[in-house]
Amino acid sequence: MYIQEDRLETLFDLPIQLPQTMIPAAGWMAIATVQVPANTTLSLLWLQIYVAALENANSSDPCGIAGQNVINPNYLPGSLVSVFLIKDWSPSSEPWTQTIIDQVLVPADTTQAAAAVPPFIVVRPLTSQLDVTVAGNYTFVVLNNSTNRNLAITVDGAITMDADSLLTV
């Protein structure tokens, strides 16, 4: 199968990038917002989270999520940091209370040294491409689930906007 030139004109690749940034304990930040018009498909191709450093880490609980040191243990169990795709995000409300379309979780299993001590990377599997076809504003939001650790993280990814149906007569 070949992509014809007229078809290529309807595909738009966009990066999702957050350079290394310190996310404070229990904090969150919008990374990117994309407006998806009617008759358009947004496809999340890949997404990765790189945890470069933890501030205030200690040897007994490096990730700081033991016990009650998490924002919402019922919704994000065992998660150190998450990236959410949220439809019609409101910055005045907690990310987990909104319409979450998808999420990438960084597990914080402190029994495994590789997952407990930065630096480490978590990648959303390429086999699980996400397609959004409902019109709206979609925001990628990163959340530090620890209440007592600041995180230095980087987020990288790519989305494709397919506007082919807009040109169909």
Each of the 169 residues of the chain gets a pLDDT tens digit; together they read: 456 676 677 888 889 999 999 999 889 999 999 999 998 999 988 888 888 887 776 555 555 555 556 665 555 556 778 888 999 999 998 887 888 888 776 655 434 434 456 677 777 766 677 899 999 999 999 988 877 788 899 999 999 998 865 554 4
Predicted pLDDT of residue 110: 39
Count of alpha carbons within 13 angstroms of residue 105, beta-carbon side: 13
Residue 102: what pLDDT? 81
CA–CA distance, 40 with 27 (Å, rounded to integer): 32
Q: For domain 10-167, give the fold.
A: Jelly Rolls (2.60.120)
- The whole-number pLDDT of residue 132 equals 92
Query: Nearest CA to 95 among 104, 103, 106, 86?
Result: 86
Q: State the pLDDT at residue 78.
A: 61
